[in-house]
Amino acid sequence: MCVGMTARVLKVNRDVALVDASGARRQISAALLPSVEPGDYVMVHAGAAIAKVGEGDAEESAGVLRGLFD
């Protein structure tokens, strides 16, 4: 099974984005998405942003993940 995480984009420099995923900051590839901007929420898998997601979906996903580890 593969799991993607939602993350909030903090900074973008060309095809590399700095994201915050539940407090963990990581640099990821943003090359697969045509336009990623700070404040966007993205689905991250294998070090790459694979889709934009809405803020509500990102919050729901984070809640589900927290529930798994509580």
pLDDT digits (tens, 9 = 90+) for 47-64: 999 999 988 877 887 777
Range of the domain at 64: 5-69
Q: Domain total for the chain?
A: 1
Query: Which residues partner with 26 through β-bridges?
Result: 19
φ/ψ of residue 18, rounded to 5: -95, 125
Cβ burial, residue 42 (10 Å; 0-12/13-18/19+)? buried
Span 6-30, mean pLDDT? 95
pLDDT at 68: 73
- Alpha carbons 16 and 60: distance in angstroms, whole number: 25
CATH value at residue 47: 2.30.30.140
pLDDT at 31: 96
